[in-house]
Amino acid sequence: MALNNVRIIDLPRVKDARGNLTFIEGDRHVPFDIKRVYYLYDVPGGAHRGGHAHRKLHQLIIAMSGSFDITLDDGNTKFKYHLNRSYYGLYIPNMMWREIDNFSSGSVCMVLASEYYEEADYYRDYSEFQIDARAQQR
C-alpha cells in the first residue's frame, strides 16, 4: 500500500465537564471489523517498538495517554506522525513498515487490528518487505 492510503481518523468526542468520552465502532469509525485489541504500556524511556510490517492486517493506532512517534514506510517513502490525542486514530493499511518510538513517560499505545495475532502475517525483515512492497505497487 502506498503512504497516501494512511490517514488520521478523527474519532467521535462527547465533551463533558465530567470528562470527555470517545467511542469506536468497527466498520463505522474504522474501515475494518476489529478482531483484536492490544496495547503497549510501561514503555521505558528510549524504547523502540514496531520494526515490522503486515501482509494483510490493517490497524488503527491511538495514543490513549501521552504521546509517541510513528514512522511509516511504504517501501519507497517514509513519513513520521506524532500522536498525542486520544481522539485521533492513525489508520495504517497492510504492507506498511512501522516503527514506534519517542514514547512519553506513562504513555499508552492502543492498536485495533483487523486480524488475530498470526506470526506468519509479519514481515520482520525490512529488505524482504521492501522487495514485495515495491513489486505490489507496480
For residues 103 and 92, what is the distance between their CA atoms, to the nearest angstrom?
19
38 sits near ligand TYD (criterion: CB under 6 A)? yes
Residue from the set 117, 118, 125, 128 that interacts with ligand TYD by CB under 6 A: 117
Q: Is 135 left (phi over 0), alpha (psi -120 to 50) or beta?
A: alpha
Residue from the set 32, 49, 67, 87 that interacts with ligand TYD by CB under 6 A: 49
Give the Cα-Cα-Cα angle 97, 92, 138 (nearest 5 degrees). Answer: 60
Q: Among this protein's residues, is 54 annotated catalytic?
A: no
Place of cell 485495533: 112
Scanning 13-21, 45-53, 55-63, 72-80 for contacts with ligand TYD by CB under 6 A, the matching segment is 45-53
Scanning 22-30, 47-55, 82-90, 128-136 for contacts with ligand TYD by CB under 6 A, the matching segment is 47-55
Query: Closest Cα to residue 24, out of 120, 91, 93?
Result: 91
With respect to ligand TYD, which residue has the nearer C-beta, 52 or 55?
52
With respect to ligand TYD, which residue has the nearer C-beta, 91 or 123?
123
Place of cell 486514530: 89
Query: Closest Cα to residue 54, out of 7, 108, 26, 92?
Result: 92
52 sits near ligand TYD (criterion: CB under 6 A)? yes
Q: Which of 52, 54, 58, 82 is catalytic?
A: 52
- Residues that are catalytic: 52
